[in-house]
Chains A and B, each alone.
Chain A
Amino acid sequence: MIHFVLLISRQGKVRLTKWYSTYSQKERTKVIRELSGVILTRGPKLCNFVEWRGLKVVYKRYASLYFCMCIDPDGNELEILEIIHHYVEVLDRYFGSVCELDLIYNFHKAYYILDEILISGELQEPGKRTIVRAVAAQDSLVETVKEQTGSISTIIAQASK
């Protein structure tokens, strides 16, 4: 299970936080401070995992942004790296060559996308296209979208309207 997701810029600025386990506001601040201290100072050739308070944090740097996910000690780190990458690819597809600025100003969209990928700390959808379609459907949503099962074309129409 993923306990939390953090996006931190190289300067230590928080870009996105999502907590799947319970942490109080005070703990959250402490976690972020502690982890950014550890992760931002690590060299480029070292491995992308950090053992931390009995848990493991997997991080990956994309340009100036660090994507971090905290998992149980028996998790598969390489898989988590790919989940991070999966998220980035979806972001990229959604924003059209995403940059940090996109995430800064549209962090709520980044949250919506994350909600389609992870739910209660587990990967819920491995298909990129499904995710983008789901988010787009919500975006373009007109309130009259009613449930019309069976006719797939309406959804596609809405997705690409």
Chain B
Amino acid sequence: MGSQGGFYQSKEFLDLVKSIGEARSKAEEDRIVLGEIETLKRRISDPDIPKRKMKEYIIRLVYVEMLGHDASFGYIHAVKMTHDDSLLVKRTGYLAVTLFLNEDHDLIILIVNTIQKDLKSDNYLVVCTALNAVCKLINEETIPAVLPLVVELLAHPKEAVRKKAIMALHRFYQKSPSSVSHLVSNFRKRLCDNDPGVMGATLCPLFELITIDVNSYKDLVMSFVSILKQVTERRLPKAYDYHQMPAPFIQIKLLKILALLGSGDKQASENMYTVVGDIFRKCDSSSNIGNAVLYECICCVSSIYPNPKLLESAADAISRFLKSDSHNLKYMGIDALGRLIKISPEIAEQHQLAVIDCLEDPDDTLKRKTFELLYKMTKSTNVEVIVDRMIDYMISINDNHYKTEIASRCVELAEQFAPSNQWFIQTMNKVFAHAGDLVNTKVAHNLMRLIAEGFGEEDDTADSQLRSSAVESYLHILGEPKLPSVFLQVICWVLGEYGTADGRYSASYITGKLCDVAEAYSDDETVKAYAVTALMKIYAIEIAAGRKVDMLPECQALMEEFLASHSTDLQQRAYELQAVIGLDAHAVESIMPSDASCEDIEVDKALSFLNGYIQDSIEKGAQPYIPESERSGMLNISNFRNQDHHEASSHGLRFEAYELPNQTVQSRIPPASLASTELVPVPEPMYVRESYQTTIVPSASSDAGSTELKLRLDGVQKKWGRQTHSSATSTSSSTSQKTVNGITQVDGSNTSNSRTRETYDSRKQHVEVTPEKQKLAASLFGGSSKSEKKPATGHKIPKPSSHVVEKSHARKSSMEIASEKKASFQQPPDLLDFGEPTVKSAAPSVDPFKELEGLLEPTTQVASDENHGSTTAAAKSPDIMGLYTETHAGIYDKDDSDILSGLSNPPVTNMFGGTTSMQVAQSSKGPNLKDALEKDALVRQMGVTPSSPNPNLFKDLFG
């Protein structure tokens, strides 16, 4: 059977496709394709090939490239083809070009002119084709060339053109928001378009705009709600129905938008309740598309201001999803559960069995989704079970991308909820050992900081216990063969700081271990550097304690090696170590005080201690320092660059003709203002700066001196900074800010409370959303939440105490989660007492919106009215068409196809194509119709066939 389009390609092409289809191996396929490339290369460069042939060659090129081979030699011919007058040829050219070229390709500049011409064409099909190309090819640089034309097309009488123009503008917005920011009102206008298709397309850019800035679009809430209402009431033309659902794709997009607009906004959300409730009721949960809409409803409900009734409907829908046999629905159910759990944690309880089932499922996708859910519901009571599970899974997979993700989640949960120090250290060890090089180095720095500072500030013995247990476990782990570099760094650091602290291990034992590490991982300089510094610390502690230091022979050998190392960093460290060993106890004590890693280092950024020195120098006649930005030499450069930049951003390329040469400076402004308004102000700052520059020139001679001065300061700062600590962890960075590395300084000030702050932050988000969420969050975490600050501290308390209490809970089955949860559910009644403050906090946010709404009401009213009218109008016209096409449907399938293909294809290829296609079809399709029927039945069982009865659907000819 032939397809409607007919196989109009030449026999050559059919043979090519066939031979590739029959190729037994990849090598054979490659050989065939390479042969084809040679042929095409030869023929395509022939100057007088007929257009029709050329079109086929280009399609063959597309085919070759699709198979993963390089067809770049033919790109230019595809570009040339877009210039053709015949639309059929032009369309092929555009198709090839959009498939071949990325937006940064050099050839694009050659197409812009053609696109400009085609956008102006009076044939709307040409315009559509050009717009398709615009969406793919136009880049930031070329947007100004086509933008005015595309904007004009927004008012085009054909809806297909308007639709594509909207999408093109959307694309422009994605590529360069500033280029179309003044056109945003056009999107609003198109929302009221007569054609539902255009309205639907407009939702895409609006969704993106609203994602970025919700508040400017609050006035549209009523419009969106009324559109959604009309859609669900089947006011759109029948043509938009999909599997008996009224325009589901538009519904989904609208629900997404409403979710954004209603988030944390009670007033807006209240307007949505009715329509979302309606959709819950009307949705057909037996079809896939119905479930897609339902899922979007759940997402919407979980995002907007909570409404008990809707939450109930959402919970019902979720339980239907989870109870379904379909893995797809289970997956969606788990995802939806994760969203809803933030608002109503109690719904997780009834589904725990289903969740556990999903966790055990052999389907990896489902499993990962379930881990994501668990991650969201982790708290101090269930953290051990969940993290253990996660680590087990992490060990079992090979996918590095996901391994990284799950490892960082484990670390995050462990940091946040760890019930005991012991457990924390062990968990981190496991994570590092199995995914060490995949975790972020920041995690390692966090770990070092935690070990240094401990969990509870007030309990020193617990801290030292933590440290000695860390040391012990690390000494044990060092016996294992291959450890990740990051982990080794942590180990070296901890051994250096605390290896001998509790007196259980002798200095020589620890130094021996450190030397082993440096030898075993001799190709990793970072680890070696960590090891040397750790050695230095241990020796320093020994010397400071007044003990005699004997360097182990292997250690001495190591030092000799490092003293001659190619790495200057290692050399430096080795020399420092040598120097430290030669000093007496008092000196060592002062340069390397023990356990000083927790002390904050204050960096005097202004270098005020040098003031006296500078004063002296100035008095002696030195030039004062001039900041880099004010230096005249620099000024010129930066000025030029500035100018360049402005010109580039305003019009990188000129697409309009250059003006006549006799015009002078003044005439420079008009074309610029045409291209964009940005350029106009440029000349002014330029002049200002120029005048400034002249005043500065006399002091230009001081330039060199001042830079030198600055350089010297840099050196001073490095030397005088706390070298002892910075060298402990840093390896190569030289600026004082960075050198000190996570533990003491950069993070020290910032993250010393990060654990509390993290939880505090997440709590804060909850709080910001709604007061009711706050209540629920409190019940989730079991803390009281009178004020915002309390939860943070209230959260910290469980940690030390859980050390005692939860030990008994440790390592029980995950079923325990439920009972734990029940206990926490009993709390909400108490928490309801806090109803008052919730009202208060909601009130101020209500008023402004009310005002806004009041102000904007008339316009939205008009908008929705207009839309309302238009949709009913539109509903009528398609019906006529519908009648027409339906009566023709029968003929259209058979006869028309022949006529169509006959018309569109020249007779010669038709003969070729016709006969070969018949052969091919008969040789493979003909004989086993039975097979086909069986297959179809099977496929149908799986619910995959399109509705029409066609036994040969997708019969695989090569299979």
Contacts and interface: CB of A to CB of B under 8 A. Distances in A.
B944 A99 contact: no
30 contacts: A14-B66, A45-B327, A46-B365, A47-B326, A47-B365, A63-B939, A76-B295, A78-B328, A79-B248, A97-B948, A98-B954, A99-B955, A100-B955, A100-B956, A105-B17, A105-B917, A106-B3, A106-B7, A111-B95, A112-B91, A112-B95, A120-B135, A120-B171, A122-B167, A141-B88, A143-B87, A147-B157, A147-B158, A156-B881, A160-B888
B954 A139 contact: no
Contacts of A101: 920-921, 957
Given A86-B242, A106-B3, A108-B95, A79 B292 contact: yes
A99 B157 CA distance: 36
A160 B903 CA distance: 12
B66 A120 contact: no
A100 B954 contact: yes
A107 B704 CA distance: 67
Contacts of A136: 900
Given A60-B944, A147-B122, A108 B160 contact: no
Contact of B3 (A22, A102, A108): A102
B695 interface: no
A102 B900 CA distance: 16
Contacts of B247: 126
B296 interface: yes
A63 B164 contact: no
Contacts of A125: 163, 197, 200-201
A107 B170 contact: no
B200 A18 contact: no
Contacts of A97: 1, 948, 950, 952-953
Among B102, B197, B295, B956, which residue has the most Cβ atoms of chain A within 10 A?
B956
Given A44-B942, A138-B125, A143-B87, A96 B328 contact: no
Among B123, B129, B366, B368, which residue has the most Cβ atoms of chain A within 10 A?
B123
A99 B160 contact: no
Contact of B167 (A25, A102, A124): A124
Given A82-B292, A105-B14, A98 B3 contact: yes
A16 interface: yes
A110 to B, nearest CB: 10
Nearest to B196: A127
Given A76-B296, A97-B950, A156-B884, A46 B363 contact: yes
B288 A128 contact: no
A40 interface: no
A35 interface: no
Given A61-B944, A105-B14, A156-B884, A128 B239 contact: yes
Interface in A16-47: 16-18, 20, 22-25, 28-29, 32, 44-47
Interface string A132-147: 0110111111010111
Interface string A84-122: 011011001111111111101111110110010001101
B234 to A, nearest CB: 14
A25 B197 contact: no
B66 A10 contact: no
A134 B40 CA distance: 32
Task: Name the 7 nearest CB pairs between A and B, nearest first.
Answer: A63-B954, A97-B950, A78-B292, A47-B327, A64-B956, A149-B157, A46-B363
B4 A95 contact: yes
A125 B21 CA distance: 33
A141 B125 contact: yes
B66 A16 contact: yes
Interface stretch (B674-682, B776-784, B889-897): B889-897
B401 interface: yes
A51 B368 contact: yes
Interface in B914-934: 917, 920-921, 925
B328 A115 contact: no
A64 B163 contact: no
B912 to A, nearest CB: 12
Given A92-B946, A147-B124, A160-B885, A47 B331 contact: yes
B250 interface: yes
Nearest to B250: A126
Contacts of B295: 76, 78
A129 B196 CA distance: 14
Contact of B242 (A16, A126, A160): A126
B957 A88 contact: no
B365 A51 contact: yes
A47 B66 contact: no
B366 A47 contact: yes
A49 B331 contact: yes
B132 interface: yes
A158 to B, nearest CB: 10
Nearest to A139: B904
A18 B65 CA distance: 12
Contact of A47 (B250, B330, B877, B953): B330
A11 B26 CA distance: 11
Interface in B855-884: 877-878, 880-882, 884
Given A44-B942, A78-B289, A96-B4, 18 more contacts: A10-B959, A62-B939, A62-B944, A65-B954, A76-B292, A79-B249, A79-B292, A81-B288, A96-B897, A100-B956, A101-B920, A105-B14, A107-B63, A108-B95, A123-B200, A127-B240, A130-B239, A138-B87
Given A29-B68, A63-B954, A130-B197, A122 B87 contact: no
Contacts of A133: 885
A122 B170 contact: yes
Contacts of A86: 242
Contacts of A134: 128, 160
B5 interface: yes
B954 A99 contact: yes
B383 interface: no
A45 to B, nearest CB: 7
B9 interface: yes
Nearest to B878: A129
Contacts of B402: 51
Contacts of B904: 139-140
B171 to A, nearest CB: 4
Interface in B608-623: none
Among B88, B946, B954, which residue has the most Cβ atoms of chain A within 10 A?
B954
B4 A123 contact: no
Among B102, B237, B330, B935, which residue has the most Cβ atoms of chain A within 10 A?
B102
A102 to B, nearest CB: 4
Contact of A96 (B3, B252, B401, B903): B3
Contact of A92 (B122, B252, B291, B953): B953
Among B3, B14, B330, which residue has the most Cβ atoms of chain A within 10 A?
B3
A76 B253 CA distance: 10
B560 interface: no
B163 A124 contact: yes
A95 B5 CA distance: 7
Nearest to B959: A64
A150 to B, nearest CB: 8
Contact of A99 (B67, B289, B957): B957
B726 interface: no
B332 interface: yes
Contacts of A79: 248-249, 252, 289, 292, 296
Contacts of A143: 85-87, 123
